[in-house]
Chains A and B, each alone.
Chain A
Amino acid sequence: MTPLLQVQGLSQRYAGQSVLRDIDFALAPGESLGVIGESGAGKSTLARLLMALERPHQGRVLWDGVDVNAMPARRRRALRPLVQMVFQDPYSSLDPRWRVGRSVMEPLLALSMNEAARRERMSEVLVAVGLEPDAAWRFPHQFSGGQRQRLAIARALSTRPRLIVADEPVSALDVLVQAQILALLRDLQRREGISLVVVSHDLPAIEILCDRALVLRGGEAVEHGPAARVLREPQHPYTQDLLAALA
Chain B
Amino acid sequence: MTDNVNGMGGMGAPAAVAAVANVANAAEAPLLEIRDLHVRLPGRRGEPLHALRGIDLSIARGESLALIGESGCGKTLTALAVMGLLPDGAQVAGRIAFDGRELLTLDEDAWCALRGRRIAMVFQEPLTALNPLQRVLAQVAEPILIHRLLPDRTAARERAMALLARVGLDGRQARAYPHQLSGGQRQRALIAMALAAEPELLIADEPTTALDARLRVQVLDLLRELVAERAMGLLLISHDLALTARRVDRLAILYTGGVVEQGDARELFEHPRHAYTQALWAARPRLGAGRDQPLHPFEGGVR
Contact = CB atoms under 8 A, between A and B. Distances in A.
Contact of B212 (A38, A180, A232): A38
Interface in A206-247: 207-209, 228, 231-232, 242-243, 245-246
Nearest to B211: A39
B298 to A, nearest CB: 6
Q: By DSSP majority rule, is chain A's interface helix, strand, loop, or mixed?
A: helix
B126 to A, nearest CB: 13
B287 A203 contact: yes
A176 B280 contact: yes
B12 interface: no
For chain A, the bracket of interface size reads: 20 to 34
Interface in A179-222: 179-180, 182-183, 186, 201-205, 207-209
Nearest to B184: A39
Contacts of B280: 175-176
Contact of A204 (B72, B217, B240, B286): B286
Interface string B210-253: 00111101000000000000000000000111100000000000
Contacts, number: 88
Interface stretch (B100-108, B133-141, B259-267, B289-297): B289-297
Contacts of B289: 204, 207
A40 interface: yes
Nearest to A180: B297
Best-surrounded residue of B287, B290, B303 (most CB of chain A within 10 A): B287
Nearest to B240: A175
Given A180-B297, A208-B293, A245-B214, A232 B288 contact: yes
A2 interface: no
A193 B242 CA distance: 32
Given A183-B297, A202-B213, A208 B285 contact: yes
A145 B71 contact: yes
B283 A246 contact: no
A120 interface: no
Nearest to B296: A179
B300 A207 contact: no
Contact of B71 (A40, A144, A207): A144
A54 interface: no
A178 interface: yes
Nearest to B293: A208
B84 interface: no
B68 to A, nearest CB: 9
A58 to B, nearest CB: 27
B182 interface: yes
A174 interface: yes
A228 to B, nearest CB: 8
B142 interface: no
B36 interface: no
15 contacts: A38-B213, A176-B70, A176-B280, A176-B300, A179-B285, A180-B298, A182-B295, A183-B297, A186-B291, A204-B289, A207-B290, A208-B285, A208-B295, A243-B287, A246-B213
In the A-B complex, the 9 residue pairs with the closest CB atoms: A204-B285, A183-B295, A174-B239, A179-B283, A245-B214, A179-B295, A204-B287, A38-B212, A201-B212
Given A38-B214, A175-B240, 6 more contacts: A172-B209, A174-B239, A176-B283, A201-B212, A204-B285, A205-B285
